[in-house]
Structure 1
Amino acid sequence: MNAGQIKGVKDVLALLNAGNLDAAKSLGERLLHSQNKPDLFFVMQKIALLQGNAQDAIDYGQRMLKLAPYQNEFKTAYHETINYLHQQRQFQVMSEAASWLTQSRSADGQAWNLLGISYIELGRFDEARQALERALAMMPNNKHVMSNLGNVLISMSCYGAAIDYLERALKIQPDLVPACNNLGNAYRYVGRASDAIKIYEHALKIAPDYAELIANLGVAYSQVQRYRDAIDCYDRALNLNPQLLPVYANRAEAFRLLGQLQDAIAACENTLNQHPDIQEVWLVYGNALRDASRIDEAIQAYIRALSYQNLRNTSFNSAVYTSLLFCLNYQPDLSAELIYSVYQDYNVKNGLPYKDHWRPFLNDPSLTRKLKVGYVSQSFYNHVCKHFLLPLIESHNHDNVEIYAYSNSVREDEYTGLYRNAVDHWVVTNAMSDDEMAERIRADGIDVLIDVAGHTSDNRLPVMARKPAPVSLHWLDFGYTTGLTAIDYYLTDHAGITEDCAHLFSEKLWPLDGPFFVYRPFGVHSMGDAGQLPAERNGYVTFGCLSRSIRINHKVIRIWAAILDAMPTARLIIDSGDFKDPQICEEMAARFAAYGIQRERLDIGFHTPPWDVLRNIDISLDCFPHNSGMTLIESLYMGVPFITLAGRPSVGRLGASILTGAGHPEWIADSEEEYAQKCVILAHDLPGLKHIRQNLRQELEQSQVMNEPAFARSVEAAYRQMWEIYCKGQQA
């Protein structure tokens, strides 16, 4: 540097250090007319940042580096400018500034790291991963890059890889709080909530006022059902940073999971009054309204959550659709065609985009070889599905089928061990992205792939949309079509469908000759026997329903009230987890009061396990248009008959499927009037009810519903026939 240049820069620096930014800027700009030196650009960059002029800072920094590309002080100053853009949330400008640096200094690992961070903020995760992998190749022991790479991998649902990088970062620096936070998040996503809690609590000892960390601890607490602790965390986090908007949704969800529906609804409404565009709150609001039997309002909340265009093809978008489609099935006034149209919309947005990526299969097309069969489920633990899924898997003939279980379960227990022992291959998929899981299924050479979840929580329907196996079908959970044209078949039975309902399914219907399920009770000793007919000791008949509140719509209430009106001494028990909140119980009672049914004739609440409740019921009442499921089978096993109304395929015919398989089609009604008549006629036949009470369990045990080997052979025959159709189609 010559003396004149140093003097000029020093004058600018003196004004800058004196706090006279305008004068420093003015002098610097005059000097730029005669001087084109990096030192001056370096000082001008500082002035621009202090004045909040990010674009000028970038321009000065780039001119500085063009003149002195290898001076570390200048490189560091430009890095600081990019970090300033990050702090100011100017992510697009940040990415442009970082991209320029990687092009001019391609060996600058920190430049690639900053570019990766900007892409994360912009939601450009594939590009972020590529940039951060380049950064790590240049700085292989940089804990910050590892943490950032773990963060983007979480966003891409590549949880296993994320955990590897984050654990490596923490081995280098155990007190790196951002890495602790990201690792806790990754643990949560793969179902390791207890490990997440440990790492969050460790990090909070280092940074006790880190609001995001406290909020994430709340989510982990909620995963292990410590909802009160979760709410405490959310309150602490929001006190520290009220702008953590998604936390409001988590807080309301914790109230919902506690059964405090009114608190959940109020929390959502209070938040939406101030922040009407938090899509996560609209989802929770819809779920709380749904649980409170306010179906139409719930549907509107879901539609609002889906209205945000930036959500297309995201996991949140799929979660909203899951809730919306679930809720629509319970709406009693919509046509089946209208409901199915929303499933078609789901397919357009979340299924068809993957069709261009479908690839031919290399599976051996032999018709007689052993088939590789894969089950995809999040319920390989003590979940209600165990009553149906476990007996099938344990009854498979391994001479004919080789069984793979793709487990996305959030927890493991003794039932997980039973599943694992019954299959040939156990594959844990929690840490796999949808693409990774689809590739794993292809690599395993699966011939027939079964989705067990449908549109239930934590499903892997996006994997099914990628068509990773030659033959695919949906069976069991959810009870209706997936809407995905990528899935070939829907496994059902003849009672569950009608002759003219094929247009309501995206899959081809495949009815089994017998029931579409098999049932195995667990804990029979704890269930106890059916006991005495309640009407004998009470002197009046007790009807009952143990179903979700969402199924008890205005049409159901009207018919049930008519039945009670026809039998003035009869009582009605309504008992399920949705009635933990006393106000919800009273709201339900008020709906009956509108038909003149006195409160004392209704017993509304929640008890678990349900066996003593069932011992106090003479006749169970099924709901419509969406029938109950598990509670109907449990009613039969406890000697309690139920009356069902067969309606919409297939969720409105679950009761018909169960009764047909159990050998009691006489309890199936085809109209609301017939439903009420059958209830009243059966209630007046106390000797008949007593006989049913004494014999129904044994009848069920001897029926097709509990014939595990026969059901497994029927299902295997269906798989074989589906495979033959595929192979013949390939040959053609």
Structure 2
Amino acid sequence: MSKSKTSSTALERQMREVRDLYDQGKRDLAYARNREILNSFPNSAEVNYFFAKLQFEMGLYKETLTSLKKGFSCLGIAPEFKAYYELLTRLQTDRAIDLWEEGALWLIQHYPKNGVGWDYYGLALLEREKFVDAEIAFRQALALLPNNPHVLNNLACSLNSQDRGAEAERFLSRVVQIDPKMAVAYNNLGNAQRMVGRAKEAITNFLKSLELVPNQAFTYNNLGLAYRVDANYQEAITCYKKALELQPGLFQVYPNLIDAMRQNGQLQEAIDLAEEALSKTPDLPELWACFADVLRDANHLDAAVEAYIRALSYRADAHSNFNLRVYTNLLFCLNYHPDLSAEVIFDAYKEFDKRFAQPYFKKRTYANDKNPTRKLKIAYATQSFYNHVCAYFLIPLLEHQDRTQFEIIAYSNVVKEDEKTQRYKEIVDQYIVTTGMTDDEFASRVIADKIDIFIDLSGHTNGNRLAVFARKPAPVSVHWLDYGYTTGLSAIDYYLTDKPTVEGGAQRYFSEKIWALDGPAYAYRPNKLNFEQTPLPYFRNGYITFGTLSRSVRLNHRVVRVWATILDAIPNSHLVIDSGDFKDPAVQDEMASRFVKYGIERERIKVGYSTPVSAAMREFDIGLDCFPHNSGTTLIECIYMGIPYITLAGRPSIGRIGSSILHAVGHPEWIANSEAEYAEKAVILAHDIERLAYLREHMRGETENSPLMDELGFARSVDKAFRQMWQIYCESEAS
């Protein structure tokens, strides 16, 4: 017998001893015996591998990697050495991610043409949330392993993590063709489709993934996200609960479940769950962020602000997309705070600009023709090109803008298209979907399209693309419509509004230059099918009913105190508070209790949610506006129904929305300048039943004939403003 065969036989016998000890549960003895054998056979790939396996199971991660490197060196490198790769992959834990990355880089250095090292390195970067670097690594791996479904899937994951679902979908479609049994690929394909708004297709693929591999907690979580995009919040809640039932420690599900409860109107239940989850995992920023959203909607503003700040404290990268989204929600919340000054709030907006906008600002030389009289390309950017409240104002403008002067482009970030989306597509010259575009890609598209005037319609609302405006991709930029206040961005040139909203030296609270139109800042087109007029409820009830359709966040302690004063002054009067924030009976009772503390009987306070909104308004004799943040469209709807409302003119411009509407319809007498005057005007109006009855019958006609519904006149004023803005730009470039 040859010497090599003798050695081989001896090695097999000795390693069999090690495996027997291991199978008997005597791991320490197996480890000691393996070490002895390694001294005799230091270049055996098998001995090094089993030694590494034992080290890993004993928690000796650094030693595991050393043994794996030695084993790889003994073997060379080839795909058939699957066990080595699998053991290296097991280092991909929170405790050993540094070693996992070190191992991947070692593979790249020693075996650069294999591709596995690049794939593993990409996974390490993915774990660290370095998504752009991970994408680069996966593309290197794909160049070496062009049809490897795992590499294709991992590359798609890095793209999904950058909100680039459209690109990810292309790679994942290849994966499921190559390996139609790869459950994780269907899961990731569902994520990509969910991002670009195709929720139903996403749901189909998540269900396919669960069919292949049932009871995957993370897949149920993602299925819940797809149902949430489809506005099916109850199904989403069911999926999230199933995910937590399968894997109670999957804490990232909690923010999703809490947010779905919030959107489903289960505010108190969402708050309770958030507090329970935070007691288990207090350092999850996403959990603090969703907790803040619920607290805001439940009108616990101070606690919400604290939670937002806590959420912002975790990310090492202060400029991350997560931090940007949280900060924009914080600004949205601050707008409603009843006790903060306009100066303090605007300081927070300036900080947003400093952190999230100015780093991306580029002073550009634009290729746009600087002829002041030529036809201009104007573009509106928003996530609201669907059946959203903006349609009451935006569609009339787009239909009446002068097409001899302007070519109109819609940049749409809509998640879910509907019949209104189709109408927008019909009335603009180009409809361009930006969902899935990165901020840089979107900005590059605006530059390539040679947009002259770029209009933001979103402000700090969900789904905004302010980061694109921060890059200043067009010569002139404007903010208008769906927010009611400054964006804080020094990169945006103008804030388009009207004079009543910015009275009192408002410019110091705006980063944009205020451009106040001569007439209203909008023209309103109602859905007349939803607003059938009814007689004054007083004649049916025998008492005055005050009402509001405001969100909970506006109903602060100042508002409650003044409204309670009004109710106390009008015996037997009632108050109706109606909005989607009051679906939860616990939240209804909590809001009513605030009035009970002022001595108002509980039965005089009706809190709830009606749909359509006109069902609630039919019960109103007089509307009450909120402050310091006024309501918006619901005030116009009250006026259109013949219901007068009292408003308090406060902070520009969110505190003067009610004033703007009343000026537009010719009723400035209902504008108060102090809380005492507000209560006085409400009480005086409540005693004038004859006047209320007249207004109920005639105010719709007044509104229809007012500047508030002069669609053509408003469009011409906007056209004029845009032309003048362009001329100012051309003159500045010529000087």
| TM-score scaled by length of structure 2 | 0.94
* Alignment check: 8 A CA contact 1:589 1:599 kept: yes
Query: Partner letter of residue 55 of structure 1?
Result: K
- CA offset digits 1:487-513 (Å, max 9, x no partner): 121111110012422221121111111
Could you give the per-residue CA deviations for residues 59-88 of structure 1, whole angstroms, max 9, x where no partner exists? Answer: 333345456535665x64543343121256
Superposed counterparts of 1:311-390, under 5 Å: 312-355=318-361, 357=362, 359-390=364-395
Residue 641 (1) aligns with residue 644 (2):
yes
Task: Pick which of 462-471 and 645-654 moved more.
Answer: 462-471
2:159 is equivalent to residue 153 of structure 1: yes
Match of 2:241 among 235, 247, 253: 235
Distance in 2 (CA, whole Å) between partners of 1:485 and 1:413 is 34
Q: Is the alpha carbon distance of 1:539 and 1:67 closer, same or farther for their aligned partners in structure 2, counting shifts above 3 Å?
A: closer
| Matched residue type, 1:512 | L
Deviation per CA, 1:188-231: give whole Å up to 9, x if none.
11111111111111111111111100111122222223323222
The AA in structure 1 aligned to 2:465 is: R
**Cα separation, partners in 2 of 1:124 and 1:526, compared to 1, 3 Å:** closer
CA contact (8 A) 1:9 1:43 kept: no
Cα distance in 1 for partners of 2:342, 2:436 equals: 37
Cα distance between partner residues in 2 of 1:635 and 1:235 = 40
Deviation at 1:662, TM superposition (A): 1.5
Q: Distance in 2 between matches of 1:729 and 1:260?
A: 54
Instruction: Provide the residue aligned with 1:653 in structure 2.
Output: 656
Kindly state the Cα deviation for residue 646 of structure 1 after the two structures are TM-superposed.
0.5
- 1:69 and 2:76 correspond: yes
- Residues 229 and 416 of structure 2 are in contact (CA less than 8 Å); yes or no, is this contact kept in structure 1? no
CA RMSD, 1 decimal: 2.1
Q: Do the aligned partners of 1:380 and 1:419 also contact (CA within 8 Å) in 2?
A: yes
Residues 335-367 of structure 1: CA deviation (Å, up to 9, x unaligned): 111111111222222112212x55432222221
Change (3 A) 1:136 1:569: same
* 3-state SS of paired residue (2:377): strand
Sort the Cα spacing of 1:161 and 1:691 in 2 relative to 1 into closer, same or farther, 3 A. Answer: same
Distance 1:265 1:36, change over 3 A: closer
Aligned letter for 1:404? I
1:521 to 502, 505, 526: 526
One of 57, 63, 67 as aligned partner of 1:60 = 67
Check 1:8–1:55 CA distance in 2 against 1; reply closer, same or farther (3 A cut).
Answer: farther
Tell me which residue corresponds to 2:31. 22
Specify the SS of the correspondent of 1:327. helix
* Native 8 Å contact 1:58 1:78 kept in 2: no
CA distance in 1, matches of 2:611, 2:43: 80
Give 2:211's match in structure 1, choosing from 205, 211, 230: 205
Which residue identity does 1:575 align to in structure 2? D
Q: Residue 719 of structure 1 aligns with which residue?
A: 722
Letter in 1 for 2:66: D
* Partner residue in 1 for 2:451: 446
Q: Are the counterparts in 1 of residues 15 and 34 from structure 2 also a CA contact under 8 Å?
A: no
Indicate yes or no: 2:120 matched with 1:114.
yes
Q: 1:554/1:71 Cα in 2 relative to 1: closer, same or farther (>3 Å)?
A: closer
Corresponding residue of 1:252: 258
2: distance between equivalents of 1:727 and 1:93?
A: 58
- Contact 2:261–2:270 (8 Å) recurs in 1: yes
CA distance in 2, matches of 1:309, 1:281: 13
Bigger shift: residues 86-95 or 543-552: 86-95
Query: Do the aligned partners of residues 14 and 612 (structure 1) sit closer, same or farther apart at CA in structure 2, a change above 3 Å counting?
Result: closer
Q: 1:256-295 to 2 correspondence within 5 Å?
A: 256-295=262-301
Q: How far did 1:41 drift? A: 4.7
Post-superposition Cα deviations, 1:687-707, rounded to whole Å, max 9, x if no partner, equal 222222222111111111111
Cα distance in 2 for residues equivalent to 1:692 and 1:179: 62
Pairs within 5 Å for 1:657-668: 657-668=660-671
Aligned to 2:26: none
Structure 1 spans left out of the alignment, 5+ residues: none
Q: What per-residue deviation string (whole Å, max 9, x for no partner) do you get for residues 407-431 of structure 1? A: 1112112111111011011101112
Secondary structure (helix, strand or coil) at the match of 1:627 reads coil
* TM-score (normalizing by structure 1): 0.95
Greater mean deviation of Cα atoms: 605-614 or 84-93: 84-93
* Structure 1 counterpart of 2:493, one-letter code: D
C-alpha change, 1:50 and 1:328, in structure 2 (3 Å) is closer
SS in 1 for 2:386: coil
Give the Cα–Cα distance (whole angstroms) in 2 for the partners of residues 528 and 479 of structure 1: 28
Q: Distance in 1 between matches of 2:673 and 2:721?
A: 29
Q: Secondary structure at the match of 2:336?
A: coil
Name the structure 2 match of 1:175. Answer: 181
2:230 corresponds, among 224, 233, 254, to: 224
Contact 1:163–1:183 under 8 Å retained in 2: yes
What is the CA-CA distance between 1:297 and the residue it aligns to?
1.5
Amino acid aligned to 1:527 = F
Alpha-carbon distance in 2 for matches of 1:106, 1:55: 23
Give the AA of the match of 1:619.
I
Matches of 1:133 and 1:612, distance apart in 2: 57
| Greater displacement, 469-478 / 41-50 | 41-50
Partner-residue secondary structure (3-state), 1:382: coil
Q: CA-to-partner distance for each residue in 1:632-664, whole Å, 9 max, x for gaps?
A: 000000011111110001100000111111121
Equivalent-residue separation in structure 1 for 2:64 and 2:254 (angstroms): 37
Q: Distance in 1 between matches of 2:78 and 2:604?
A: 86
State how far apart, in whole Å, the 1-side matches of 2:56 and 2:590 are: 60
Q: Is the 8 A contact 1:493 1:516 kept in 2?
A: yes
3-state SS of 1:134 partner: helix
Q: Would you say the 8 A contact 1:212–1:237 is kept in 2?
A: yes
Pick the aligned partner of 1:407 from 406, 409, 412: 412
Q: Counterpart in 2 of 1:473?
A: 478
2:440 is the counterpart of 1:435: yes
Cα 1:243–1:668 shift into 2, 3 Å: same
Structure 1 residue matching 2:252: 3-state secondary structure: helix
On the 8 A contact 2:374/2:405 being kept in 1, the answer is: yes
The alpha-carbon distance between structure 1 residues 40 and 535, as it changes in their structure 2 partners (threshold 3 A), is closer
The answer to whether the Cα contact below 8 Å between 2:65 and 2:99 also exists between their aligned partners in 1 is no
Amino acid at match of 1:101: L
- Output the CA distance in 2 between the equivalents of 1:24 and 1:566: 91
Q: Name the residue aligned to 1:545.
A: 548
Task: Give a deviation string over 1:670-703, Cα, whole Å, max 9, x none.
Answer: 1111111211222222222222222211111111
Among residues 444, 454, 463, which one is paired with 2:468 in the alignment? 463
SS of equivalent to 2:550: coil
Contact 1:12 1:27 in 2 (8 A): no
Pick the aligned partner of 1:691 from 691, 694, 704: 694
Specify the alignment match of 1:535 in structure 2: 538
Cα distance in 2 for partners of 1:46, 1:597 equals 72
Matched length: 726
SS in 1 for 2:92: helix
Task: State the secondary structure of the residue aligned to 1:245.
Answer: coil
| 1:147-184 alpha-carbon deviations (Å, 9 max, x no partner) | 11111001111111001111111112222111111111
In the alignment, the residues of structure 1 paired with residue 94 and residue 695 of structure 2 have an alpha-carbon distance, to the nearest angstrom, of: 72
- 123, 133, 137: which one pairs with 1:127? 133
Do structure 1's residue 507 and structure 2's residue 512 form an aligned pair? yes
1:585 matched to which residue of 2? 588
Structure 2: which 5+ residue stretches go unaligned? 22-28
Cα offset, 1:23, TM superposition: 2.7
